[in-house]
Amino acid sequence: MFPTLSSPTPRSDEFEVGVSMTVPAAVREALPQDAEAFNACHVACWREAYATLWGADRLDGLDEAALAGTRRAEIERGTARHMLAERDSEVIGVAIAGPSRDDDPPTDLELYAIYVRAAHYGTGVSTKLLDAVLEGKPASLWVYRDNPRASAFYVNQGFIPDGAERNDATGILEIRMVRKQAVPRL
């Protein structure tokens, strides 16, 4: 029953829990006009997830306007698939996949990125995004070796390390994970 003026006021956390449990995230393809919100979510996720790995200087140096412009151009180009998850008109997660960029591609398809706002970890929205962007196909990806939550998520989604390693542009070690078989769609 909805609260009335004479009802006890619900505690704010009760109200928040009620909202988050009843409004599922919607996942859809991003359009060029979504580029700014898509990028804002992406950057917010970097700040939440990579404070230690990247450090303050790298995070403070991000040019969000330039990144949003690049994102818009990439969505318009259409080579890669850009998906977003939104709830209550807020973008809460993003995912990008496209042709493998590796010299020795273990699969045709590469997951370039999947990022979800920390408040939505463990809600299932990441699984929905991954399913939408990969459509259950075999794929490979690069993940920081020191990113245990992401690695555990990928293992749950059928990916295993194939032994390949590299450093990113700033020298942080990444490992490659591969899903060789197609998996059933959600």
Contacts to ligand COA by CB under 6 A: 45, 49, 114-116, 121-122, 126, 143, 147-150, 152-153, 156
Compute the least distance from the CB of residue 153 to ligand COA, in Å: 4
Q: In the complex, what is the shortest distance from the CB of residue 61 to ligand COA, in angstroms, rounded to a whole number?
A: 19
- We find the least distance from the C-beta atom of residue 86 to ligand COA, in angstroms, to be 15
Q: CA–CA separation, 141 vs 125, rounded Å?
A: 19
| 121/172 with CB nearer ligand COA | 121
Cβ-based nearer residue to ligand COA, 3 or 148: 148
Shorter beta-carbon distance to ligand COA: residue 76 or 146: 146
Helices (H), 30-182: 35-49, 51-60, 64-77, 125-134, 148-156
Please give the Cα distance from 120 to 126 (Å, whole number): 9
- In angstroms, what is the minimal distance from the CB of 130 to ligand COA? 8
- State the DSSP code for 77: H
Q: Which residues of 82-110 are buried (b: 16+ CB within 10 A; e: fewer)?
A: bbbbbbeeebbbbbbbbebeeeeebbebb
Instruction: Specify the residue, 54 or 153, whose C-beta has the smaller distance to ligand COA.
Output: 153
